[in-house]
A and B are shown apart, each in its own frame.
Chain A
């Protein structure tokens, strides 16, 4: 069953096309990965689905569980069951980690303490710390994931979940993604990383604002590793030369 469908979605920013008549759908209950080179439009895809300001002026239609959501605000989409983990999460001066997580807490999500354990951060040590620039990038990133665990949205968009994460903590990130799936979420990761790609069940190759192929991880990783960059067209692989 399709949980998210984009139909002919285009977006230009400063007159530059970023998403280019993009049509794609995602099955419910799976872990998906979108890969592609810099500038392909991967992060923009997640911002458009989330409905962030500056990313609302699209053409085409976005459907979530069959419902067109173009006209919904960010929080309306969140309340419908969509959320986003940022590549570089915001810092909140004066708010504690506990306050930030409490703002995300929903009934079906796990407890704040459990979520912190999953991402490998001691609740005793971290919950009363400020959720600000005193946290390292990796710590803040793991707290971002914890906030999604306590929210447990039906659709989780994760933009570069591994960036700034050390090797040891990366396993915790993967654990968290798997737990989100086990508890019923559909996860879409946006990534440059083969490690993250290989944890997914389905992969999508994005280039020049469009999904140009999709399929198994092996298939898409072949594109990504061998043929995607460089190519005849900027960011478009030479089809037919794929393994």
Chain B
């Protein structure tokens, strides 16, 4: 048990965090290293059942109807070894009028050749709230492949918010694919922010189907690529009911030999629905750059600050 505790603490440390959350009885957590559960703590209203598999874990998570989980639940998926495969299969149900926020740390600080896959099936029941913030820390070099895929159902008047953010390290190969179906009065917000360098290859597919009357969806993507990195963003919003409203917002900054593509798709199947999109790809905004340089920052410092802002 002590070894597992130390591994959990090490994983947290790689994220730049102390183990305070692991000691807080009011903060639920689940810490996975590879295919091993190295820490788990639950709070009332939250049911989590992890099962170790040869290459990862399956996790069934449920927030019971009407339960409000006060503090964000910490999930930590990591691999301390240099090589390997981690497959996470998640089955998540947020029951009626329950509320939970997840802070997911995915840390692969020593990666030389690691693949991290997640396949999630998420159901957010009527009136429930589910926020999933996924923060990654990768090794500065090596090859890491991150493949988070999810199928999400957002039922009547429910809310689903997700953020994907690479805090540190080399993106590697990232292939995000979230497909969400939203019913009456529901709210969807999906955000992804990634910085690509070297030969990173980033693909983001975010899809929202606004099926119910008054459903609202916003897809926001911020990407910066430099060196020989590539990024392709497919943002799709479809609106099928009256007063469904959506917006797609994709901004990509490229430098050096970076390549960025944005493919926003908006489809509207009801005359009272409304979906908009904006996509901007290009180098750093010249006016922003010159403004900061007029304050004495050299070009590299100015670009770094602008990108830091874009990805913050």
Which A residues lie at the B interface, using CB under 8 A? 50, 52-53, 73-75, 77-79, 83-84, 86, 89-95, 99, 103-104, 106, 147, 151
Given contacts A92-B306, A94-B311, A99-B309, contact A83 B295 (CB under 8 A): yes
CB <8 Å contact, A89 and B310? no
Tell me how far the C-beta of A90 lies from the nearest C-beta in chain B, rounded to whole angstroms.
4
Tell me how far the C-beta of A154 lies from the nearest C-beta in chain B, rounded to whole angstroms.
12
Q: How far, in whole Å, are A151 and B297 apart by their CA atoms in the complex?
A: 12
7 further contact pairs, Cβ within 8 A, besides A86-B287, A94-B310: A52-B290, A53-B290, A90-B285, A91-B288, A95-B306, A95-B312, A99-B305
Give 9 nearest A-B pairs by CB, closest first: A94-B309, A95-B309, A74-B293, A104-B295, A94-B312, A78-B296, A75-B293, A90-B287, A90-B291
Interface residue count for B (Cβ, 8 Å)? 24
Tell me how far the C-beta of A137 lies from the nearest C-beta in chain B, rounded to whole angstroms.
15
CB <8 Å contact, A74 and B310? no
- For A148, the closest partner residue in chain B by CB is B295
0 or 1 for each of B84-103: is its CB under 8 Å from A? (1 = yes): 00000000000000000000
Tell me how far the C-beta of A77 lies from the nearest C-beta in chain B, rounded to whole angstroms.
8
Max chain A CB contacts within 10 Å: which of B286, B299, B309? B309
B265-310, CB < 8 A from A: 285-288, 290-299, 302, 305-306, 308-310
CB <8 Å contact, A75 and B299? yes
CB <8 Å contact, A90 and B288? yes
- For A78, the closest partner residue in chain B by CB is B296
Q: Which residues of B contact A89 (CB under 8 A)?
A: 291
Q: How far, in whole Å, are A93 and B310 apart by their CA atoms in the complex?
A: 6
CB <8 Å contact, B311 and A74? no
0 or 1 for each of B12-32: is its CB under 8 Å from A? (1 = yes): 000000000000000000000
Indicate which residue in A52, A91, A147 contacts B295 across the interface (CB closer than 8 Å). A147
Max chain A CB contacts within 10 Å: which of B251, B294, B312? B294
- For B298, the closest partner residue in chain A by CB is A75
Q: How far, in whole Å, are A91 and B308 apart by their CA atoms in the complex?
A: 14
CB <8 Å contact, A151 and B295? yes
Q: Which residues of B contact A53 (CB under 8 A)?
A: 286, 290
Q: Which residues of A contact B297 (CB under 8 A)?
A: 75, 103
CB <8 Å contact, B293 and A86? no
Q: Which residues of A contact B287 (CB under 8 A)?
A: 86, 90
Q: How far, in whole Å, are A79 and B293 apart by their CA atoms in the complex?
A: 9
CB <8 Å contact, B293 and A73? yes
- For A104, the closest partner residue in chain B by CB is B295
Q: Which residues of B contact A95 (CB under 8 A)?
A: 305-306, 308-309, 312
CB <8 Å contact, B309 and A74? no
Q: How far, in whole Å, are A74 and B302 apart by their CA atoms in the complex?
A: 12
Q: Which residues of B contact A78 (CB under 8 A)?
A: 293-296
Q: How far, in whole Å, are A77 and B311 apart by their CA atoms in the complex?
A: 29
Q: How far, in whole Å, are A175 and B36 apart by their CA atoms in the complex?
A: 64
20 A-B pairs with CB atoms under 8 Å apart are: A50-B294, A52-B290, A52-B294, A74-B293, A75-B293, A75-B294, A75-B296, A75-B302, A78-B294, A83-B294, A83-B295, A83-B296, A84-B294, A90-B287, A92-B306, A92-B309, A95-B306, A95-B312, A103-B297, A151-B296
CB <8 Å contact, B293 and A93? no
Max chain A CB contacts within 10 Å: which of B287, B291, B309? B291
Q: How far, in whole Å, are A52 and B290 apart by their CA atoms in the complex?
A: 7
Q: How far, in whole Å, are A75 and B312 apart by their CA atoms in the complex?
A: 25
Indicate which residue in B251, B286, B292, B311 contacts A103 across the interface (CB closer than 8 Å). B292
- For A131, the closest partner residue in chain B by CB is B309
Q: Which residues of B contact A92 (CB under 8 A)?
A: 288, 306, 309
CB <8 Å contact, B296 and A79? yes
B249-274, CB < 8 A from A: 251
Q: How far, in whole Å, are A92 and B295 apart by their CA atoms in the complex?
A: 14
Q: Which residues of A contact B298 (CB under 8 A)?
A: 75
Tell me how far the C-beta of A76 lies from the nearest C-beta in chain B, rounded to whole angstroms.
9
Max chain A CB contacts within 10 Å: which of B251, B286, B290? B290
Q: How far, in whole Å, are A154 and B99 apart by their CA atoms in the complex?
A: 56
Given contacts A79-B296, A151-B295, contact A74 B312 (CB under 8 A): no
Q: Which residues of A contact B295 (CB under 8 A)?
A: 78, 83, 103-104, 147, 151
Tell me how far the C-beta of A164 lies from the nearest C-beta in chain B, rounded to whole angstroms.
16
